[in-house]
Amino acid sequence: MGSRHIFVVGLNEANHERLRRLRGAEHWQFHGVIEPAAVYDTEEFDIAAMLAEATAELEAFGEPIAAVVGYMDFPVSTMLPILCERFGTRTTSLESLLKCEHKYWSRRVQREVIPEHIPAFTAFDPFDERALEVIGAAGLYFPFFVKPVKSSGSKLGFRIATPEDFQAAIACLRAEIGLIADPFNTVLEHARLPPEVAEVDGGYCIAEEIIGGWQCTLEGYVFQGEPVVYGVVDSIRYPGVLSFYHYLYPSQLPQVVQDEMIGLAKRVMAHIGYDNAAFNVEFFWDEVQGRLWLLEINTRISQSHCDLFEKVDGVSHQQVTVDLALGQRPDMPSRQGDYALAGKFFHRVFFRDAVVSRVPTEEEIAALEADYPGAVIDVQVVAGQRLSTLPEQDSYSYALAHVWLGAADYAGLLADYEALAARLAFEFTEIES
């Protein structure tokens, strides 16, 4: 039997290497469609042009196409149902995907099935001078959280404690929301939306009651109508801020709490009608109140978690994405990796802005990876770069490097990272504190 041809949107070499290590990969041939730079290295997305480019390339391919997949958030996740429908390959429907990715629609659907685990929320137009009154009329008072109805990562998410905070956030939202709103509206044009959702387009925002606690992500999938959760990853933040410090797999939460989260995630995904695709669901566990909050649903695996699963379970959970796209139950192993636990660390600076004057050299990175077996270090900046030009950052800090490590225990993992980070030599000029 010949190779099965699998097209990956935005395929880069690092992920190509991981894909080649999946179970069954000897029978698959991976091809990229849409250049990685078009989805990784920019914040400007011409969805219509990218769909046209991908369609032309796939139509020109001379052999049967077994699957079209991706492992990234917007814009890749939202383009996949459109491409798969055009070429008769498997994934969930565009409407079920948007019930997860359109944050206002998603909250409405979540509230239908698990209302006690959903914060108070409302949609508002950031260009409406009466926006704060709209939020107050919905019963939301300081403090609350605001974000676009479609965002990527933590970008343009703000904790609002005062009217002054709100006005500062509104200024940022008005200046930048169009970067995602315009391409997201292109995707919405392909979908059948209920009237109450159609009037809340990508230019709107959502305000929510503040929720918090121990944050974690459930990685799962739905296969032929059956939701499955195969891993829980903790998301640890820097003290006192919203910025992530590291992800940790497997979770250190009590098993009874994990089990309750898993049950809630399965109920929501079944209610949405999501099928034959991967997902992850983020939760907070408020230990003081003994309450679980659903934060958001993502319609993909987390690319940040690939190395964690490879280190602990023996293979990247891209296995799930590819198997589902090929119409087969995922062949995902458990605890067959080289490490008992693994983490992804975000090496950050908390500047308003600065210019990078020095980054670690290739030789320095190679020496660190040799000194810490299994370490993967991915520097995110280059010398001469202004930090404010970095894409996909939160509103409070900049990630200079991502560091993946495995260890036998949590104390050893933290100690290794702190020692490694002390040797990551970055320097800056024009620092705005």
Averaged pLDDT, 173-177 = 96
Residue 155's pLDDT is what? 79
CATH class for domain 120-209? alpha beta
CATH class for domain 214-432? alpha beta
Cβ atoms of 232 and 253 within 8 Å: the answer is yes
Name the CATH topology of 4-97: Rossmann fold (3.40.50)
Residue 69's pLDDT is what? 98
Residue boundaries of the structural domains of the chain: 4-97, 120-209, 214-432
The model's confidence at residue 414, banded by pLDDT at 50, 70 and 90, is very high
Residue 395's pLDDT is what? 75
Cβ atoms of 359 and 426 within 8 Å: the answer is yes
Cβ atoms of 104 and 194 within 8 Å: the answer is no
Residue 239's pLDDT is what? 86
Phi, psi of 189 (to 5 degrees): -65, -20
Sequence-separated (6 or more) residues with CB below 8 Å from residue 50: 34, 38, 39, 75, 79
For residue range 16-45, what is the model confidence (pLDDT) as tens digits?
999 999 999 999 999 999 999 888 877 789
Q: In angstroms, rounded to a whole number, what is the distance separating the alpha carbons of residues 243 and 45?
A: 25
Q: Is the per-residue pLDDT at 392 higher than 90?
A: no
| Bridge-based pairing state of the strands 277-286 and 353-358 | unpaired
Residue 44's pLDDT is what? 84
Q: In angstroms, rounded to a whole number, what is the distance separating the alpha carbons of residues 127 and 234?
A: 36
Residue 175's pLDDT is what? 96
For residue range 97-143, what is the model confidence (pLDDT) as tens digits?
999 999 999 999 999 999 999 999 999 999 999 999 999 999 999 99
- In percent, the amount of the chain with pLDDT more than 70 equals 99
For residue range 256-308, what is the model confidence (pLDDT) as tens digits?
999 999 999 999 999 999 999 999 999 999 999 999 999 999 999 999 999 99
Residue 43's pLDDT is what? 76
For residue range 219-268, what is the model confidence (pLDDT) as tens digits?
999 999 999 999 999 999 998 888 999 999 999 999 999 999 999 999 99
Q: In angstroms, rounded to a whole number, what is the distance separating the alpha carbons of residues 123 and 269?
A: 22
Q: Is the per-residue pLDDT at 145 higher than 60?
A: yes
Q: Is the per-residue pLDDT at 1 higher than 80?
A: no
Q: In angstroms, rounded to a whole number, what is the distance separating the alpha carbons of residues 54 and 353?
A: 36
Residue 430's pLDDT is what? 93
Residue 201's pLDDT is what? 97
Averaged pLDDT, 400-413 = 98
Q: In angstroms, rounded to a whole number, what is the distance separating the alpha carbons of residues 230 and 54?
A: 32
Classify residue 171 by its DSSP letter.
H
The model's confidence at residue 153, banded by pLDDT at 50, 70 and 90, is low
Angle between helices 94-101 and 255-272 (to 10 degrees): 130
